[in-house]
Amino acid sequence: MAFKFQGVDFIAFDSLLSKDELLIRANTRAFIEDKLIPIVEQCNRDGRFPRELVRPMGELGFYGATLDGYGCAGMNNVEYGLLMQELERGDSGIRSFISVQSALVMYPIYAFGSEEQKYFWLPKMATGEKLGCFGLTEPDFGSNPGGMRMRARKDGDHYVLNGEKMWITSGSFADVAVIWAKVEEPGVAPEDWKVRGFLVETDRPGFSAHDVHGKWSLRTSVTSGLSLQDVRIPATNLLPKSDGLKSPLMCLNQARYGISWGVIGAAMACYDTALQYAKQRKQFHGQPIASHQLVQEKLVWMITEITKAQLLALQVGRLKDEGKAGFQHISMAKKNNVGIALECARMARDILGANGITDDYPIMRHMMNLESVKTYEGTDDIHTLILGNSITGISAF
């Protein structure tokens, strides 16, 4: 049996939040409880993305939530973080879908696009009428995106794109793909070709997508491979302000920030389930297992690390709202918070014993999801090297 979520706030964390921030969290929490929690385990079993929730989430302003104008909600970064927290408390796959739509598709259009591109795409994407995907990772290049083989060749007033992308969330049902490619330049060595961003409508000839099956993680999210074979797009589909590899990395920074909050939600779900279970489950002379020292030690570790993760995410969010958050701050939040969330899931599974492996409880689903979250948007090792470079001034890449 699943437990009703009770909330997790050990040090009056809520007192650090504004009324608007609390309201957004409350509204998102209510939506997750009413619409996602009742169906998420079956969706996970079936490997099904709940398309029926796409437009309702748009009505609540979940897409492109931090953007101003174009039908977007204009949330501050802490409000957005709390939104991500509640979404991932429901399921990492649903948070991933919204992260991609928001941080990896709408954000680059907003940051690097022309006004025509913004006015055409952003209002439709804010409602969920149009969906997008982000094509950076390739079959042979994940942590080293600079090695990409996707090419764009200028041909009159068009570009012709060729290459493959892999591990693309929402790839097979997106209306538009933000594709990052190296633009061929005659007389320039290929390693020096500049990376630019392109808007590629997915119904163009030569564009195809196939879904990845057999996943044990993110089963409520669609993961795809993309193939572009002589795909012709108008030159006006170039994101004009995209400028080298730093542009997609700026997008990833937005997504990593959302993840640093989202995984707190997954950790909260595991901790709260373990706490309630431990107080009800009786062993050894009819005593609840919560009365045992080893169980209490696990619960104490979990609530302490969740509390620290909340404070880290909040401070990075406040810095971000002030324009002071560096990529290294976001790397620390992503690395730390994913790590403690995964450990919370493992400890919670241990407390539930055999019951922890069944989908009567959300713990094993969160644990499997978090294994992917630890890897994508920069692996744990990559974020370690980013932080090492930041504090020493010496690159170990």
The domain spans of the chain are 13-131, 133-237, 246-392
**Selected residue with higher pLDDT from 212 and 377:** 212
pTM attached to this predicted model = 0.95
Alpha helix segments (H runs only) across the chain: 19-31, 37-46, 54-59, 77-90, 92-99, 107-112, 115-127, 246-280, 293-321, 327-352, 363-375, 380-392
Tokens of 196: 């630019």
Mean pLDDT of the chain: 96
Domain over 133-237 is classified CATH 3.30.43.10: no
Q: Which of 79, 88, 138, 377 is catalytic?
A: 377
Q: In this predicted model, which residue has the larger pLDDT, 285 or 319?
A: 319
Q: How confident is the model at residue 229 (pLDDT cuts 50, 70, 90)?
A: very high
Domain 246-392 class, CATH top level: mainly alpha
**Residue 2 confidence (pLDDT) above 80:** no
The DSSP line for 209-240 is EEE--S-SS-TTS-EEEEEEEEEEEEGGGB-T
| Interval 246-270 mean pLDDT | 95
Question: What pLDDT sits at residue 145?
Answer: 86
Confidence tier at 1 by pLDDT (50, 70, 90):
low
Q: Where does the pLDDT of residue 274 fall: very low under 50, low under 70, confident under 90, or very high at 90 and above? A: very high
Q: What is the mean pLDDT of residues 319-335?
A: 96
pLDDT of residue 142: 84
pLDDT at residue 191, as a whole number: 86
Is 377 in the active site?
A: yes
pLDDT at 67: 97
pLDDT at 135 > cutoff 70:
yes
| For range 77-96, the mean pLDDT | 98
Round to whole Å and give the CA distance between 120 and 70.
Answer: 9
What gap in Å lies between CA 279 and CA 287, rounded to an integer?
9
CATH 1.20.1630.10 is right for the domain spanning 13-131: no
pLDDT (tens digit, 9 = 90+) per residue, 287-305? Answer: 999 999 999 999 999 999 9
Q: What is the pLDDT of residues 159-172, one digit of tens each?
A: 999 999 999 999 99
pLDDT of 304: 98
pLDDT > 70: percent of the chain: 100
Band of residue 146 on the pLDDT scale cut at 50, 70, 90 = confident
